[in-house]
Amino acid sequence: MIPIRPRRLRSTPAMRALTAETRLHRSRLVLPMFVREGIDEPVAITSMPGVVQHSLDSVRRAVTEAAEAGIGGVMLFGIPEEKDAVGSGATDPDGILNVATRVVAEEVGDALVVQTDLCLDEFTDHGHCGVLAADGSVDNDATLERYADMAIAQAESGSQLLGLSGMMDGQVAVVRAALDDAGHSGVAVLGYAAKYASAFYGPFREAVDSSLKGDRRSYQLDPGNGREGLREALLDIDEGADVVMVKPASHYLDVLAEVAAASEIPVWAYQVSGEYAMLEAAAAHGWITRRPAILESLTAIFRAGGDVALTYWAVEVARWLDER
């Protein structure tokens, strides 16, 4: 006689649903979106099938669909027509990201959390996340001054949560102080605390028309350093972050789990462009079954301790969950 039979709790679909430890919910999904200046129709991103660079008109329609699907929020990225060394377009009230934020906030600001990427890489002609020093290195403290100005511009445009993705030392403290001093104490700060110098960002660089020269290894984390990711997250928490992020998600679930175990604030994870592209490519070739693979990849993020996932499948997955 076998006294302990774990299979009893896996015997039927109803039993499996009743005893599931990890559940996906549409309100815990955030959709990253790209808005490009100077276009009238969406432009397909070839390395990310199904994802586009939006026009101001198409983003309005897309966020309305996202709100109707019941997801939790959208994260906006801007793609300007012109770039310069200091990313002037990032702080221009009429720059594409700030204009798009006003459009989205007006359309769905009561239904979704409108979030904006606070980083200079889309706006600089060298493609780095900060201002360059004379020797070509990224000047951390000069960059923080730009981030403070960006934070105020984005808050005044209607962003409810600022995604600090640049990985500059002290960025959370500087942005929090700038927001509070400008009367925007209600705007939340998401610290991309453990953002790794990953090989899985390639399609994203097409998505934002990146001008990057060189790499970002002097400020993003080395993929081999797990403890450093936890340290960065704890620093962001101490500096006043409302939420911290681990990025990418799938290949850093150990870091995500450690940060989630140590954090008293929400911990999010970004399922990045390369993760998306790999699954889509494998599914297109018939090597995996698309829907269960996508759902499994997201389940792993939440099982590891993620509270919210940024994913390009957010709206589609929300509709699947409704079907369930």
Give the residue numbers annotated as catalytic, written as ranges: 195, 247
Asked if residue 178 lies in contact with residue 248, where contact means CB atoms within 8 angstroms, the answer is no
Q: In angstroms, rounded to a whole number, what is the distance separating the alpha carbons of residues 220 and 167?
A: 6
Phi and psi, residue 246, nearest 5° = -115, 130
Label the pairing between strands 161-164 and 113-118: parallel
DSSP H or E stretch at residue 127: none
What's the longest Cα–Cα distance across the chain? 76
Phi-psi category of residue 261: left, alpha or beta, with phi > 0 → left and psi -120 to 50 → alpha = alpha
Asked if residue 247 lies in contact with residue 194, where contact means CB atoms within 8 angstroms, the answer is yes
Beta strands in the chain (DSSP E): 29-36, 43-44, 52-54, 73-79, 113-118, 161-164, 188-195, 243-247, 267-270, 308-310
Q: What's the DSSP call for residue 221?
A: B
Q: What's the DSSP call for residue 69?
A: H
